[in-house]
Structure 1
Amino acid sequence: MAINVVMPKLGMAMKEGTVSVWNKKVGDPVQKGELIASINSEKIEMEIESPGEGILLEIAVEEGKGVPPGTPIAYIGQPDEKVVSGAQEEAAASIVAEPEVPAPASPQVKENPSHVTISGEKVKISPVARKMAAEANLDIQTLAGTGPGGRITKEDVQKALENVSQQSRPEPPARKENETNTKADQASRPLTGMRKVIAERMHSSLQNSAQLTIYMKADITELKTLQAQSAASVKRRFGEKLTLTDFIARATILALQVHPFMNSALIDYSIHERNNVHLGMAVALEKGLVVPVINDAEKLSLSQLSASIRELAKKARENQLGSEEMTGSTFTITNLGAYGVEHFTPILNPPEAGILGVGAAEDQPVYRGDNLERRSILPISLTFDHQLVDGAPAALFLKEIKGYLEEPFSMLV
């Protein structure tokens, strides 16, 4: 009996999964545990292993199509094995349920028939396909059935509708002789999976909040000195060096405890104040962006915070994050400094009150008193929801982060 490959459930909240790419085609041999496809749901993407050994008999869900968890997406079995898929089961059930009857001489149509008799000729068609054809005013006599015994299935109707749609499109105007085509060839693909979720969330964020961004510059010269001086000792004790991102995260957590209004959320016109800091750290992936969450970040030491950031970023890049590790954040940090970006305007991660943007640090000449010195300057920005927070308190919060970064020892006591 053929083995079903089903769409897995990636987290409790998953409602639909999408097949990103098939690594095998129908007829290819597969080994148990071999990677045969990639699937995604919301912000999670993973590869599917073959549950058994044999031949890929049928691909039930094409690339780019979304289906609920538990839905068969492919079948694996022996070369001569037959697969009874959803469409075939429907047709077979129709055959059993409604035996053929002699055709009368005059046109007759029964209610919900699986066999429609027109002009003395019997047309085999499933109830679903008949309904689809009737709604589209499609002449079923013109359809070719691919089901058992030539029965017309819903897939046959869908294909016919697609052909009609293509034929009804107007022909593009003929190009004049010697006319140059200035437009490049274009390709389109559906917005699915992670990209679709990001698009929906960003659009919703801008529609449902009053976003304002303010900017400051932090002098992190002393911070970089501290980072360099402690590197060998920290690596010897904890196995890894502290990064600039670690210090920025620590400064943000401390500032949120001083200014808790930035750790709140606006939900259904009610302000929800959070006692704990669940820090979201945006991680860029090849196909999108994910925001792993460090829960109860205020309880972690700097070294523990650093380890958590590294671990979650690694899991994100390896598509190993669970849905529970990407929900519940109360404030987010996004860092584009590694890409050379100086200033940018982040978009809120709803329903959070704020998001910190971090740019690229640069050495600049800075007057300190009467002396011109070479200093390392870090641009930072704060996007906040003006429905929750006004400009002045938001500026005080960003200034608090700046203060910790410019006096790094205050983060260690």
Structure 2
Amino acid sequence: MAVEIVMPKLGMAMKEGTVSIWNKQVGDPVVKGELIASINSEKIEMEIESPAEGTLLDIIVPEGQGVPPGTVICYIGDAGEQITRVEQNLETAKTEVAAAATITKQPQSSAGKASNGRLKISPVARKMAEAAGLDLNTIQGTGPGGRITKEDVQQAIDGGCSIEPPKQNEMVNSLADSVEQAQKLPVTGMRKVIAERMQESLQSSAQLTLTMKVDVTDLMALQKQIGETVQARYETKLTVTDFVARAVVLSLGQHKEMNSAYIDDQIHIFDHVHLGMAVALEKGLVVPVIRHAQNDSLVQLAKNMKTLAERARNGQLGSDEMKGSTFTISNLGAYGVEHFTPILNSPEAGILGVGAAYDTPLYKGEELQRRTILPLSLTFDHRVLDGAPAAAFLRTIKRYLEEPFMMLV
């Protein structure tokens, strides 16, 4: 009897999954445990293994189409077996995951082909490559499992790898025609969710950003002083971000109006601090949450942050680990950005942006010294609190970072 393979539910919050690539085609033989398809949800991209040996009898959901979890995406059975498609209403598809499919994280590989020799490339990337006349076999894939992504194709286009020269009549097109022929990339998966949430955040809140410069010279010295001891005793490395997170948690305890959310025309002020830390991924970003961060020491907070960040990059986070934050930190310092305007992670009342530290000469009393400055940007919801209390919160963070020993007691 044919086995139904369904779109799995990758977490309680998952509403839709997309088949990004089929590793097998109808009629292809499959063995148990063999990779048959790749899927992606709002947060992560995964692969589906065949739960049985047989033949891929029918593909129900084509590449690039999003469907609710629980939707049948293909059938596997005996060669020549007749199957009856299940009538599916995609709006009311069952939401429980069938045990027919086993999910595994995609291994990293430099090869761009699946086990059956079929080129692994996302639908968007394939369309871009075909439009540019590129030879897909000459493009090195950098995506999961060596898959060719749209970024790989774009790099090939920028590098002049097109093998099909433009026709003479195409060279005399008007500027308007050129604009019409621009690449059009569908917004799906994680990018779509991020786009919707960012737009909703800006439309549903009154956002204002304050900036402040913090002298972290003494903090950097403390970090260097205790770094080896912490590494040897607790097997973790303390970073400036760890100190910033600790300062934020302590400051939220003193400015509870910032540790809040605007929900249904009410301000919800929280006693607990669930700290969100934005983590950049290849195709977007996620915000893992350190729960009850107010109970963690500096070292424990640092370990929790690193563990969640690593799991996020490896695609191992559950949806429950990415919701419920009461305040968020976003750090772009590694990219050389100093000040920026972070967007609220709705419905939270605040988010702190951390920029790149830099050295500059400053007067300490009458003496000119070389000091290290860390730029901070605080975006807050003006519906929840005004500029003065928001500035007071930012000033408290500054005090902790400029007197770092206060965070150790």
Give your verdict on TM over 0.5. Answer: yes
> Structure 1 179/358 Cα, relative in aligned 2: closer, same or farther at 3 Å?
same
Moved more, 215-224 or 73-82: 73-82
CA distance in 2, matches of 1:348, 1:67: 29
Q: 2:368 aligns with which of 372, 379, 387?
A: 372
CA distance in 2, matches of 1:272, 1:87: 44
Structure 2 match to 1:18: 18
CA distance in 2, matches of 1:82, 1:186: 44
> Structure 1 360/23 Cα, relative in aligned 2: closer, same or farther at 3 Å?
farther
CA distance in 1, matches of 2:212, 2:408: 23
CA distance in 2, matches of 1:232, 1:303: 13
CA distance in 1, matches of 2:231, 2:376: 27
- Measure how far apart 1:181 and its partner are: 5.3
Contact in 2 for aligned 1:353/1:384 (Cα 8 Å): yes
**For 1:221-232, what aligned pairs fall within 5 Å after superposition?**
221-232=217-228
Is 1:61 aligned to 2:61, yes or no? yes
- Measure how far apart 1:176 and its partner are: 7.9
Is 1:179 aligned to 2:172, yes or no? yes
Structure 2 match to 1:407: 403
SS in 2 for 1:215: strand
Moved more, 382-391 or 40-49: 40-49
SS in 1 for 2:310: helix
Structure 1 match to 2:240: 244
Query: Match of 2:74, as an amino acid?
Result: A
CA distance in 2, matches of 1:329, 1:67: 28
Structure 2 match to 1:135: none
Is 1:314 aligned to 2:307, yes or no? no
Structure 2 match to 1:131: none
- Measure how far apart 1:44 and its partner are: 4.0
- Measure how far apart 1:332 and its partner are: 0.3
CA distance in 1, matches of 2:187, 2:352: 28
CA distance in 1, matches of 2:70, 2:268: 36
- Measure how far apart 1:406 and its partner are: 1.1
SS in 2 for 1:275: coil
SS in 2 for 1:196: helix
Structure 2 match to 1:77: 77
Structure 1 match to 2:275: 279
Is 1:382 aligned to 2:378, yes or no? yes
> Structure 1 44/180 Cα, relative in aligned 2: closer, same or farther at 3 Å?
closer
CA distance in 1, matches of 2:30, 2:185: 28
Moved more, 1-10 or 304-313: 1-10
Query: Match of 2:35, as an amino acid?
Result: L
> Structure 1 30/258 Cα, relative in aligned 2: closer, same or farther at 3 Å?
same
Query: Match of 1:288, as an amino acid?
Result: G
CA distance in 2, matches of 1:370, 1:208: 49
SS in 2 for 1:32: coil
Moved more, 217-226 or 13-22: 13-22
**For 1:85-164, what aligned pairs fall within 5 Å after superposition?**
85-86=85-86
Contact in 2 for aligned 1:64/1:190 (Cα 8 Å): no
Moved more, 54-63 or 305-314: 54-63
- Measure how far apart 1:261 and its partner are: 0.5
Number of matched pairs: 327
Structure 2 match to 1:8: 8
Contact in 2 for aligned 1:264/1:352 (Cα 8 Å): yes
Query: Match of 1:188, as an amino acid?
Result: K
Contact in 2 for aligned 1:292/1:312 (Cα 8 Å): yes
- Measure how far apart 1:50 and its partner are: 1.9
- Measure how far apart 1:273 and its partner are: 0.8
- Measure how far apart 1:239 and its partner are: 1.1
Query: Match of 2:368, as an amino acid?
Result: L
CA distance in 1, matches of 2:384, 2:404: 30
Query: Match of 1:179, as an amino acid?
Result: V
CA distance in 2, matches of 1:37, 1:218: 50
Structure 1 match to 2:101: none
CA distance in 2, matches of 1:212, 1:281: 20
CA distance in 1, matches of 2:240, 2:365: 27
Query: Match of 2:19, as an amino acid?
Result: V
Query: Match of 1:210, as an amino acid?
Result: A
**CA offsets 1:224-250 (integer angstroms, 9 cap, x no match):** 111112121111111121111111110
Query: Match of 1:344, as an amino acid?
Result: F
CA distance in 2, matches of 1:14, 1:237: 40
CA distance in 2, matches of 1:386, 1:216: 18
Gaps of 5+ in 1: 89-174
Contact in 2 for aligned 1:31/1:53 (Cα 8 Å): yes
- Measure how far apart 1:178 and its partner are: 7.0
Structure 1 match to 2:125: none
- Measure how far apart 1:284 and its partner are: 0.7
Moved more, 188-197 or 230-239: 188-197
Is 1:349 aligned to 2:345, yes or no? yes
Percent of residue pairs bearing the same amino acid type: 66
CA distance in 1, matches of 2:66, 2:29: 25
Query: Match of 2:379, as an amino acid?
Result: T
| TM value normalised by structure 2 | 0.76
CA distance in 1, matches of 2:371, 2:347: 37
- Measure how far apart 1:15 and its partner are: 3.0
CA distance in 2, matches of 1:212, 1:227: 32
**CA offsets 1:123-175 (integer angstroms, 9 cap, x no match):** xxxxxxxxxxxxxxxxxxxxxxxxxxxxxxxxxxxxxxxxxxxxxxxxxxxx9
> Structure 1 367/197 Cα, relative in aligned 2: closer, same or farther at 3 Å?
same
SS in 2 for 1:188: coil
**For 1:157-236, what aligned pairs fall within 5 Å after superposition?**
179-180=172-173, 182=175, 183=178, 185-236=181-232
CA distance in 2, matches of 1:290, 1:305: 18
CA distance in 1, matches of 2:263, 2:242: 30
Moved more, 27-36 or 64-73: 27-36
CA distance in 2, matches of 1:267, 1:391: 20
- Measure how far apart 1:369 and its partner are: 2.1
Structure 2 match to 1:264: 260
| TM value normalised by structure 1 | 0.75
When Rg is computed on C-alpha atoms for both structures, the one with the higher figure is 1
